[in-house]
Amino acid sequence: MKFSIKLYFLFFLLFILLCVCLETVKVRWQIAQEFENQAYLNLSQNKFKQINVQLQTEHYHLNSPAKVERHAKEILKMEEIINIKIIHREK
């Protein structure tokens, strides 16, 4: 009887050890996945920063005063107002 209790206890401990080992493997796999996700997020963040810089540059270029003035002169056919001299004719 003592031998069977020790045997059951041994199998119980082996089962607990197996569960702990499987849990350890699972946690390590999750940690590895999180590191891969972190690397992907860092790469994506760098890409978004580059796109943001390009968009800001394009925004500044499209809204620059020189661009607006050229658009007004060439496409809208507007001209700069030059000093107007008023001539009074005497009667």
Note the pLDDT tens digit of each residue in 22-40: 999 999 999 999 999 999 9
Please, what is the average pLDDT of the chain? 89
Burial letters 16-50, b for 16+ CB under 10 A, else e? eeeeeeeeeeeeeeeeeeeeeeeeeeeeeeeeeee
pLDDT, position 25: 97
The model's confidence at residue 43, banded by pLDDT at 50, 70 and 90, is very high
DSSP state of 89: P
